Amino acid sequence: MNFSERMTQDRRLMILRLLAESDDHAATEPLLWNALSRARATLDQIRGDIAWLREQELVRTDEIAGIQVAIATQRGLDVAAGRASVPGVRRPFLED
């Protein structure tokens, strides 16, 4: 696996963890982008990751006032917690 693939897998896990930590397991694209700014994620990368996570049934999406909202599914919450694994999402370390 190359560096870019590892970064993508890490970013997807970070998105799922951010959703898992929110009260309603949901967040807007701009909120996720802001939260992942330290990882130097672009808005396009976040959008692509959300689309990929939706295809894997790890999130569902909704639109409010023209802004996409990602909502973690139970499967997505399980992956974020390390109770399930999906190729393409980094599996969290037990101490994470």
Tens-digit pLDDT profile for residues 58-94: 999 999 999 999 999 999 999 999 999 999 999 988 5
Q: Does residue 63 lie within any of the structural domains?
A: yes
Q: Does residue 91 lie within any of the structural domains?
A: no
Q: Which residues have a Cβ under 8 Å from the Cβ of 61 and sit 6 or more positions away? A: 50, 54, 68, 69, 70, 71
The whole-chain average pLDDT of the chain stands at 93
Q: What is the CATH number of the domain that holds 65?
A: 1.10.10.10
Q: What's the pLDDT tens digit per position in 18-51?
A: 999 999 999 999 999 999 988 788 999 999 999 9
Q: Does residue 41 lie within any of the structural domains?
A: yes
pTM, entire model: 0.92
Assigned token pair, 66: 């023209």
Q: Does residue 90 lie within any of the structural domains?
A: no
Give residue 94's pLDDT: 59
Q: Could you list the residue range(s) of the whole structural domain that residue 67 is in?
A: 3-80
Three-state secondary structure call for residue 57:
coil
Number of domains present in the structure of the chain: 1
Q: Does residue 23 lie within any of the structural domains?
A: yes
Q: Does residue 85 lie within any of the structural domains?
A: no
Q: Does residue 71 lie within any of the structural domains?
A: yes
